[in-house]
Amino acid sequence: MKKYIMAFDSGTTSCRTLIFDSEFNIISSAQKELKQIFPKPGWVEEDPNEIFSTQLGTAVEAMAKMNINANDIAAIGITNQRETTIVWDRQTGEVIYNAIVWQCRRTSKYCDSLREVGYRDEIYKKTGLEVDAYFSATKIKWILDNVSGARERAERGELLFGTVDTFLIWKLTKGVHVTDYSNASRTMLYNINTLEWDDELLKLMDIPKSMLPEVKETAEVYGETAREFFGEEIKIASAVGDQQAALFGQGCFKKAEAKNTYGTGAFLLMNTGDKKVESKNGLVSTIAWGIDGKITYALEGSILIAGSSIQWLRDDLKLIDSAEDSEYLANKVSDTEGCYVVPAFTGLGAPYWNQYARGTICGLTRSVKKAHLVRATLESMAYLSNDVLKAMEEDLGALKILKVDGGASANDFLMQFQADIIDREVVRPKDIESTVRGAAFLAALGVGMFSSIDEISEKFNIDKNFIPNMAAEVRENKLKLWRKAVSRAFDWAEE
C-alpha cells in the first residue's frame, strides 16, 4: 500500500517539497531559495533549469530525510507560481530564454497599445483577465519577437511554451506536454467560457498554436516520472496554480467562500461556483479548478507585492535580520507616526491595474524611526487586501469571514490589523501551508484516495480567530490617508 503524497510547491522565490502521510500530516519537507534576475528596472527573470534542478533537489532531500522511496509514494501534486513563461526546444528541452516571471513589466507598453485599439473588452470577456503585462501571452510574444530565430522555430513547430507546472511535468516525464484548467486560465490565451485555446487571441498575439500544452483536469494522472529521477516511476496526479491551490487547500469548496494568501504577492480569491462573474471593479475571473467534468470559477484580486516587501526590508534596506523581526518591531510602536508605505515596486494590481505606479513612502518626518517604517510596510499588505476585498464585495455582496494562509499570515500583528481594517473576522488554519496542501489533496483525488471533495472537508482545523476591535472613526481616518498615499504612487514611471 502506497502511504504518502508528495507535493511540489514551485514558488516565485523558492522551491519546496512536502511529503504528507495518509492523514495529511506533513512528515518531511525541504526548501531552497531561487535566484531572481533583474536585467532592467521592472524586469524580472529566473533560470528555468535552476527551477527544475532546485525542485528536484528538494524532492530527493525530503524523501531521504525520512528514508522514503518511490514505491511508497502514491502520487505527486504540483502547485506553481502562475503566469511565469518558459519557452523551450521540443526535441532537446533546451530553454531559449530565461523564464519571464509574472512580476515582470517589460510588456507594459504593448498592453497599453492593445487597450488603446479597443481589445480590452474582448480579451476580458474571453479570458476573464485584464490586459496586463502580468499574464503569459505578451511574455510569449516578447520572447518570439526578441530572441534570435525564435519566431521561425516556433512556426516550424520546434518550440514549446509552458508555465512552470508544464515545464516541470515535461522534464519529469520526458515529454508529456500538459497543463491544467487553473494554469491555462492565467495565460490570456485561454477562453474560459468555451474551455479552449482561443484562435483569435493567438492570431492577435501572433503565437503558433503548436507551442501550447494540452489542457487537462486539475486532478488526474498526467503521466509518470522517468525512473532516473527517483529510482522508480511516480504518478503525477495534479497541477494547480498556487492561488487556486490555496483556495482548495483552505476548503473553500462552496460559492462565496474566500481566502487571502500572503506570499510574495497577496491573492484574494472567492469561489463563484459554476458561473464566471464579470467584475465591475477591476477584479479578474479565473478557473479555480476542473474536477470530474465540472468547472469551478473564482473571482480574484491580485496584489503584486506583499511578502516581498518584507524581503526588501530584510535584504535590501537591512532594517531587519529575519521576516519574524517585522512583528517584533511593529509591536514596539503604537502606530506608524503618520508614515505610509505603498509597495508598488512593479506597479499596482487589482483593483487599480496601474502598470506605471512605483513604490512610495508618504508622510515622512524626523520622528519616523525604523520600527515605524517596518510597521507601515506590514500595514500596507492589509490596506491593499482591503482595497481588493471591498471591490469583491461590491461585485458579490458582503463577506462574513476571511480565511488566511501563506507565510505572512503567521504574523499575529498583521492578522489583527487585517481584521481591524476590513472590519471582518479573520480565520487562520493550524496549517498555513494551504497552497501545497491543496496540491496534495488534489493529487490524492487524482489517484482515487478520496472518492469526492466532501471527504476532504473533514481535514481542516482552525488555529486562531482574529476579531476586529478598531473604532470606526480610527479605521476611516487611516483608510483616508492610505487612499491619499496610493494616489501619489500612480503613473510614476510613465514617460
pLDDT digits (tens, 9 = 90+) for 103-144: 898 999 999 999 999 999 999 999 999 898 989 999 999 999
Three-class DSSP category at 168: helix
Q: Residue 228 domain-assigned?
A: no
404: cell is 488566511
Annotated binding site for ADP: 12, 16, 264, 307, 407, 411
Residue with the larger pLDDT of the pair 431 and 386: 386
Q: Residue 230 domain-assigned?
A: no
Annotated binding site for sn-glycerol 3-phosphate: 12, 82-83, 134, 242
Cβ distance 10 to 165 under 8 Å? yes
Q: For 356, left (φ over 0), alpha (ψ -120 to 50), or beta?
A: alpha
482: cell is 492610505
With a cut of 80, say whether residue 457 has pLDDT above it: no
11: cell is 514558488
Between 24-38, 178-192, 402-416, 458-472, the lowest mean confidence (pLDDT) is in 458-472
Are 97 and 208 within one domain? yes
Are 314 and 206 within one domain? no
Are 292 and 210 within one domain? no
Single out the residue of 206, 188, 234, 233 nearest to residue 78, CA to CA: 234
With a cut of 90, say whether residue 398 has pLDDT above it: no
**pLDDT value at residue 1:** 63
For residues 254 and 437, give the distance between their C-alpha atoms in angstroms, rounded to a whole number. 18
Annotated binding site for ATP: 12-14, 264, 307, 311, 407
Are 145 and 37 within one domain? yes
For residue 463, the domain's CATH number is: 3.30.420.40
Are 279 and 203 within one domain? no
Annotated binding site for glycerol: 82-83, 134, 242-243
Q: Residue 234 domain-assigned?
A: no
Average pLDDT rounded to a whole number, residues 350-357: 87
Positive or negative torsion for Cα 270, 275, 281, 282: positive
374: cell is 517596518
Are 280 and 428 within one domain? yes
With a cut of 70, say whether residue 272 has pLDDT above it: yes
228: cell is 532516473
With a cut of 90, say whether residue 147 has pLDDT above it: yes
Q: Residue 226 domain-assigned?
A: no
With a cut of 70, say whether residue 47 has pLDDT above it: yes
Cα dihedral 439/445/449/451 (nearest 10): 150
**Which of 164, 190, 216 lies at the terminal end of a domain, its last residue?**
216
Are 159 and 255 within one domain? no
| Rounded alpha-carbon distances, angstroms, from residue 56 to 9, 43, 471 | 11, 26, 50
Are 175 and 281 within one domain? no
Are 413 and 474 within one domain? yes
221: cell is 494522472
For residues 108 and 40, give the distance between their C-alpha atoms in angstroms, rounded to a whole number. 14
Positive or negative torsion for Cα 452, 454, 458, 459: positive
Q: Please give the residue range of the domain that contains residue 135.
A: 4-216
With a cut of 90, say whether residue 452 has pLDDT above it: no
At position 429, the amino acid (one-letter code) is P
Q: Residue 238 domain-assigned?
A: no
With a cut of 70, say whether residue 433 has pLDDT above it: yes
Q: Residue 222 domain-assigned?
A: no
Are 145 and 294 within one domain? no
The tally of domains found in the chain comes to: 2
Are 281 and 400 within one domain? yes
**pLDDT value at residue 450:** 87
Are 191 and 257 within one domain? no
Predicted confidence band of residue 183 (pLDDT cuts 50, 70, 90): very high
Helix axis angle for 412-422 and 472-489, nearest 10°, is 100
Cβ distance 439 to 7 under 8 Å? yes
Single out the residue of 445, 384, 449 nearest to residue 417, CA to CA: 384
| Rounded alpha-carbon distances, angstroms, from residue 330 to 311, 327, 375 | 15, 5, 4
**pLDDT value at residue 384:** 96
- How many helices, marked H, and strands, marked E, lie in the chain? 17, 23
Q: Residue 107 domain-assigned?
A: yes
For residues 322 and 329, give the distance between their C-alpha atoms in angstroms, rounded to a whole number. 11
Annotated binding site: 12-14, 16, 82-83, 134, 242-243, 264, 307, 311, 407, 411
**Residues in Cβ contact with 385 at an 8 Å cutoff, skipping those fewer than 6 apart:** 260, 266, 268, 303, 418, 421, 422
For residues 457 and 270, give the distance between their C-alpha atoms in angstroms, rounded to a whole number. 17
